[in-house]
Amino acid sequence: DKLLSTPRKDQKPSLNSVFCRAFALFPSNSVHLYLTFHPIVSEIQIVPKAPAAAKHQPGVAQLPPDIRAVSGAGYPKQTKTMLSTLRGRSQQFLARSARVRQARLFSRSLPCLWDLAEYRQHVAERAAEGVVPKPLAPEHVADLVELMKNPPAGEEATLVDLLSNCVPAGVDQAAYVKASFLTSIVKGDISCSLVDKKAAVQMLGKMVGGYNVLTLIELLDSPDLAPLAAAELKNITLMFDSFYDVEAKAKAGNAHAKEVIQSWAEGEWFTSTPEVPEKITVTVFKVTGETNTDDLSPAPDAWSRPDIPLHAKAMYKHPREGFTNAEEKIEELKQKGHPVALVGDVVGTGSSRKSATNSVLWYTGDPIPGVPNKKSGGVCIGGKVAPIFFNTMEDAGALVFECDVNQLNMGDVIEIQPYAGKIVKDGEVVSDFALKSDVLLDEVRAGGRINLIIGRGLVTRARESLGLPPSTLFRTPAEPEDTGKGYTLGQKMVGKACGVEGVRPGTYCEPRMSTVGSQDTTGPMTRDELKDLACLGFSADLVMQSFCHTAAYPKPVDVNTHSTLPDFIRTRGGVALRPGDGIIHSWLNRMLMPDGVGTGGDSHTRFPLGISFPAGSGLVAFAAATGVMPLDMPESVLVRFSGKMQPGITLRDLVNAIPYVALKRGLLTVEKKGKKNVYSGKIVEIEGLPDLKVEQAFELSDASAERSAAGCTIRLNKEPIMEYLTSNVTMLRWMLEQGYGDPRTIERRCRAMEDWLANPVLLEPDSDAQYAEIIEVDLNEIKEPLLACPNDPDDIKSLSELQNTKVDEVFIGSCMTNIGHFRAAGKMLQLSKGTLPTRLWICPPTRMDQYQLTEEGYYGIYGAVGARTEMPGCSLCMGNQARVQSKSTVVSTSTRNFPNRLGDGANVFLSSAELAAISSILGRLPTPEEYLSYATQIDTMATDVYRYLNFNEIESYQKAAAAGKLQMQDAL
Ligand code: SF4
C-alpha cells in the first residue's frame, strides 16, 4: 500500500514515486526493481539481491502483457515473504496502470477490424463443421467493446451475450480486455448504454478470478457498488494473495470486506451450490472392452485438443461394438431425456490426457458459467478406471467410480444412488459400489477437486483471520490406521516433500513439487488451465516445457504454439526447450533432484530419481502454479530383481519381465473383461539393480506407465546418481549460456545439485516396510528376449514363441532409448549386407545424441542401409507425426503398442533396440539362436557401445558451462 499510495485518491502513483518508495522501504542493497515499457502494458520486475545483485534480462520489453514472475522458491523465508508481498503489489500496480491506459483507449473511438458480420460468418463455418463458435480472441473483444460503445440497432442483446458468455476467463488476454472495459465503466471513466455500472460489477463477478479481482476489491470502498461487489467476491475462490487485500480492508473497518471474509469463513461459495442428489438418473453409453485415452483423444488429432468442441468429434473415431459415430449415438441416447453416462469395462488407460476428459465431458457434462467451450461434471463408470484418468475426471467434477458393469448395457436407463452405493435398473439393484472416498461428493458439488482444494484453502485462511476454529463443513478423507511399520522408499520420498518421515497409503497429502514437466500436445491446454487459475508465476521450483510431440511435422496450430508457449512459460519462471531439442523426459530427467517429487502432463513422466505422479493438464497447471499437488497416497508393489543377467538379455527384456512374471502368477491378465492388474494405481518400487546408470533406470521407470502404475521408484546407489548429476550441472549451465530461460530457475537447480553432491545422502526404504504385493524377478530365469505382442503392452511372450514372424517396419526411438541403443543398432546394421528388407526408422531422443552419433559416424551407417532418420523427438511413438504403413507388422522400441498408435491397423511388437535392429536386417523376428549370435558380438564391445553422455567430459559443454556460470554468479 505504501508503494502505491498517493496524497489524493484520484491520483495515480508515478513510476518515480514507486521506485523511490520501494528503495525507502527496503534496504538499498536488498532489491532491484526493473520497469520495462511496452505499447500495451508495462512490466515491473522485482528481484532480490540475495546473495548478490541480479542482472536484468534483456528482451522483457517484447513480452506479452504478463507480469514477469518472481518465484520465491529457493530464497530464504524472509525474502520469500517479501517477494510474495511485492509480487502482489506489482500485479496490482500493473493492473492499475494498465487500466489507466485502457481507459484512455476506451475513451477514444477506434476503427473496428472485426464486426458481427465476420463473427456470424465464423459461427456459420463452425456450424458447418458441427461445432459451436470459438471463444473470442483479445482483439475481437477490443472490437466488441468498440461496437458496444455505439451499438448497431437490433444487435444490443447479441453484443451483451458475447461479452457475458464468449470471453475466456482467468488471466487470458481476452479476459484482460474485458475486465479493463468493465472496470472503466464501474469507475465512470466511460459509459455504455448496454452495460450499466451494476451490470458491469456482476459481469466482473462471473470472470472466475484474475484480472477482475482487483477492481472488485477496490469497489468494496464504493458507496453505491460495494454491496454488489461484496456479493460477487463471496463466490470467487481464486483469490491467492489478493485475500490479504480484502483482509486489510476488513481489519481497517470496511463492513463489506468483513462480510466477504465472514462468507469465505463459512464457505458460502460451497453451500450455495446444491448437494449431490440421492438419486441420479442417466442413460448408459456403454463401450465394451478397453477404452484408452487414445480412443477418447486420438494422437493424430492432437493439434485440435485446445479446441474442445472440435477435438471431441474425434472421440471413438474408430468404430466400436454398438456404434460407429459416438456423437450421433450419444445424441440419440439423450433423446430419452436424461444425461448420458460413459460406462466401460476398462476406461482411461494410457496417456494422462486432459483432452480425453474434455471430450467425454463435452458430450456428458454441464456448461461452466463464465467459461466458454468447456464443461465439467458428468458421470463415468468403469469396471476398472485407470488412476490418472480417474483423477482427471475427479478434477473436472465428474462422479466417477468403479463397479461391476456387466449388467449395464447400451441405452439402459439407470438410477445411481451415490450415497447408498447402488445402481438400480428396472427397479432392481444391478450393481453395488463404493466411492473412492466420500470427499468425491464434495468435489462433485464444488465443480471439481481443484476447485474444492482452492476453496477449502480460502475457508481456512478466512477462519484463521477471524480467529475461528477449523471448518467442519467439508468431508475429510478417512485417515488410514498407523501400522507402526516402516516406510517404503516412495512413502519416504513423498513424506520428505510433505515435511514428515513418511506417508502411509490411503493418506491424503499435498507434497511440494520439485519438478513439473509439460509437453507440447498438452502444453496449450496446460496454458489454458494456468490462465483459468489466474497464474502469473510458478511456485513449483522448476517447470519445464518441451516441443517433442510436434516439432518434426508441425501443423500451423503447432507452429503458433512453438512461437508463443516458450514466452508464456519463461515469463512465469519456467524453462522452455526448443523445437528439435528432443524428448521431454530425456531433458527433464537431467534436471531432477534425488528423492524429489514432481509431476508432468505426459503419462511417461516417471522420474528415475525421486518419484513423479503424472497427471492431466489441469492438475499439472495446479501443481506448477501452487507448488503442491493433491495426492491420495497409493499402495506400493515391490519388484525385486535377483540373480545374474544372462547373455544377450537387455534392460528392455527386464522391462517386459515385470508384466511377464505377474502374468505367470495370475496377478495380471491380458483379457479386458474383469481384467486383473496388480500394478494398476500402485507405486511400483524397483530394487535389485542398484548399479544401473540413471539413463538405464529410466527405461524401467518409464514403462511403469504401461503398467497403469501411479508412480515408480528405483533404488540406486549413490555413485551412478553422482555421475549423472555432475554431468547435468554442466548441461544446465550450458543451457544458461545457450539462452534457455528462466536463468534464475536453471541456476537455482544447478546450485541445489551442487549442494547435494557436496553431501550425497539418499533415502532408503525401511526393512519392515509393507507392500501390497512383492514380485520377484529371477534374472537367472530370463534366458531369451521378451516382447510385448500386438497390440497390448501387457501381452508378453518369449522370442521362441514368436520367432520367424515376418516384419515390415522397424522403429528405433522414443524415450525408452538412449545413445547406447543407437550405437548398438549401428553395430548390428554394419553386419547387414546391402539395403534392408524392411523400412527402418531411426530417431534419437535428443539433439545432443544426434550430434554425438553423427560425430562418431553412426549416421553414415544408418544412411548406408537406407534407414529413415527423423528429427530428435517422439516421432512414431506419438502417432501424430509420420506413421507406419496401414496393417503392417512392426517391431518398435517405443513405449506402447495400443491399436492404431503407430499406424492404422498396424500390428506392433515392443522389443529392445538390439532385437529391433536384427529384425530390420532379417525382415522377420530372429530365432533365439540367431539373436544370440548377433548379440554376442555387441557384448564384446559393451563398454564402447553403452557409453552415456557425460557433458562434464566434453570440452565444448565445459566451456559453455563455465560461461553460463559466470553469467549467473551474482544472480541469486
Ligand atoms: S517418446 Fe512416446 S512415450 Fe515418450 S514422451 Fe514421446 S510420445 Fe510419450
CB 372 within 8 A of CB 208: no
Pocket test for ligand 1, best of 292, 604, 880 (most atoms within 8 A of CB): 604
Q: Provide, rounded to the nearest whole percent, the portion of the chain with pLDDT above 90.
A: 71
Residue 910, ligand 1, Cβ within 6 A: no
* Ligand 1 atom showing the smallest separation from residue 879 Cα: 7
Cα–Cα dist 348/346, whole Å: 7
Pocket test for ligand 1, best of 583, 612, 701, 811 (most atoms within 8 A of CB): 583
Give the CA angle between residues 87, 93, 95 to the nearest 5°: 100
Residue 548, ligand 1, Cβ within 6 A: yes
Residue 894, ligand 1, Cβ within 6 A: yes
At residue 595, φ and ψ (nearest 5 deg) are 65, 10
* Ligand 1 atom showing the smallest separation from residue 896 Cα: 3
Residue 604, ligand 1, Cβ within 6 A: yes
| Per-residue CA distances from 417 to 414, 422, 448, 731, 970 (Å) | 10, 5, 19, 56, 62
Q: Lowest-pLDDT range, 106-110, 623-627, 919-923? A: 106-110
Whether 23 has a pLDDT exceeding 70, the answer reads no
Q: Provide, rounded to the nearest whole percent, the portion of the chain with pLDDT above 70.
A: 88
Whether 40 has a pLDDT exceeding 50, the answer reads no
- Model confidence over 725-779: pLDDT tens digits? 999 999 999 999 998 978 989 999 999 999 999 999 999 999 999 999 999 999 9
Which residue matches cell numbers 498408435? 901
Protein residue closest via CA to atom 6 of ligand 1: 874
Whether 455 has a pLDDT exceeding 80, the answer reads yes
What distance in angstroms lies between residue 846's CA and the mean position of ligand 1's atoms? 12
Give the CA angle between residues 398, 402, 408 to the nearest 5°: 95
Q: 379 Cβ partners below 8 Å, 6+ apart? A: 280, 282, 339, 341, 342, 364, 398, 399, 400, 416
Give the residue-averaged pLDDT of 275-292.
96
Q: Lowest-pLDDT range, 15-29, 320-334, 394-408, 805-819? A: 15-29
Q: 392 Cβ partners below 8 Å, 6+ apart? A: 348, 352, 353, 354, 356, 357, 615, 616, 618, 619
Protein residue closest via CA to atom 7 of ligand 1: 878
Cα–Cα dist 352/602, whole Å: 6
The band of 59, judged by pLDDT with boundaries at 50, 70 and 90, is very low
Greatest alpha-carbon span in the chain: 89
What distance in angstroms lies between residue 398's CA and the mean position of ligand 1's atoms? 28
Whether 210 has a pLDDT exceeding 90, the answer reads no
Whether 86 has a pLDDT exceeding 70, the answer reads no
Q: What is the arrangement of strands in the sheet containing 889-892, beginning at the earlier edge strand?
A: 796-798, 786-788, 907-910, 889-892, 809-813, 839-843, 868-869
- Model confidence over 162-182: pLDDT tens digits? 999 999 988 888 898 899 899
CB 929 within 8 A of CB 954: no
- Model confidence over 511-541: pLDDT tens digits? 999 999 999 988 998 998 898 888 877 889 9
Whether 203 has a pLDDT exceeding 90, the answer reads yes
Give the residue-averaged pLDDT of 899-917.
94
| Domain architecture of the chain: domains with CATH | 15-104 (no CATH), 109-266 (1.25.40.310), 280-432 (3.20.19.10), 511-629 (3.30.499.10), 786-939 (3.30.499.10)
Pocket test for ligand 1, best of 548, 606, 910 (most atoms within 8 A of CB): 548
Which residue blocks in 61-155 are alpha helix, DSSP H?
77-107, 116-129, 138-149
Whether 473 has a pLDDT exceeding 60, the answer reads yes
- Model confidence over 692-713: pLDDT tens digits? 999 999 999 999 999 999 999 9
More confident residue, 10 or 799: 799
Residue 584, ligand 1, Cβ within 6 A: yes
What distance in angstroms lies between residue 866's CA and the mean position of ligand 1's atoms? 25
The band of 34, judged by pLDDT with boundaries at 50, 70 and 90, is low
At residue 559, φ and ψ (nearest 5 deg) are -60, -40
Whether 29 has a pLDDT exceeding 50, the answer reads no
CB 71 within 8 A of CB 152: no
Q: Is the peptide bond before 791 cis (omega within 30 degrees of 0)?
A: yes
Protein residue closest via CA to atom 2 of ligand 1: 877
* pLDDT given at position 104: 43
* pLDDT given at position 520: 92
| Per-residue CA distances from 891 to 691, 700, 825 (Å) | 29, 19, 13
Whether 84 has a pLDDT exceeding 70, the answer reads no
Give the residue-averaged pLDDT of 227-249.
93
* pLDDT given at position 110: 47
For 480, the grid coordinates are 488410514
CB 133 within 8 A of CB 122: yes
CB 694 within 8 A of CB 720: yes
Give the residue-averaged pLDDT of 361-386.
94
Question: Chain centroid to CA 19: how far?
Answer: 38
Residue 902, ligand 1, Cβ within 6 A: no
The band of 835, judged by pLDDT with boundaries at 50, 70 and 90, is confident
* pLDDT given at position 968: 86
What distance in angstroms lies between residue 328's CA and the mean position of ligand 1's atoms? 32
* pLDDT given at position 108: 46
The amino acid occupying position 553 is Y
Give the residue-averaged pLDDT of 44-59.
42
Instruction: Give DSSP secondary structure letters for 225-280.
Output: THHHHHHHHTT--BTGGGHHHHHHHHHTT-HHHHHHHHHHHHTHHHHTSPPPPS-E
- Model confidence over 579-624: pLDDT tens digits? 999 999 999 999 999 999 999 988 899 999 999 999 888 889 999 9
Q: Which residues of 56-74 are buried (b: 16+ CB within 10 A; e: fewer)?
A: ebeebeebebbbbbbbbbb
Give the residue-averaged pLDDT of 647-671.
96
Residue 814, ligand 1, Cβ within 6 A: yes
More confident residue, 780 or 137: 780
* pLDDT given at position 103: 44
Protein residue closest via CA to atom 1 of ligand 1: 814
Protein residue closest via CA to atom 4 of ligand 1: 815
* pLDDT given at position 727: 98
For 950, the grid coordinates are 557425460
Give the residue-averaged pLDDT of 132-145.
90
Mean pLDDT of the residues in the chain: 88
Whether 827 has a pLDDT exceeding 50, the answer reads yes
Give the HSE-up count for residue 199: Cα atoms under 13 Å, Cβ half-sphere: 11
* pLDDT given at position 538: 87
Which residue matches cell numbers 546391402? 834
Q: Lowest-pLDDT range, 28-42, 201-215, 636-650? A: 28-42
**DSSP label at residue 581:** S
* Ligand 1 atom showing the smallest separation from residue 894 Cα: 2
Instruction: Give DSSP secondary structure letters for 538-568.
Output: --SSEEEE--TTTSSS--HHHHHHHHHHHHH
Protein residue closest via CA to atom 3 of ligand 1: 895
More confident residue, 779 or 60: 779
The amino acid occupying position 648 is G
What distance in angstroms lies between residue 590's CA and the mean position of ligand 1's atoms? 16
What distance in angstroms lies between residue 789's CA and the mean position of ligand 1's atoms? 19
Cα–Cα dist 428/395, whole Å: 32
Instruction: Give DSSP secondary structure letters for 484-517.
Output: -----HHHHHHHHHHTSS---TT-EE--B-SEEE
Cα–Cα dist 874/881, whole Å: 9
Give the residue-averaged pLDDT of 948-954.
95
Q: Lowest-pLDDT range, 172-176, 370-374, 497-501, 732-736? A: 172-176
What distance in angstroms lies between residue 910's CA and the mean position of ligand 1's atoms? 14
* pLDDT given at position 881: 80
The band of 61, judged by pLDDT with boundaries at 50, 70 and 90, is very low
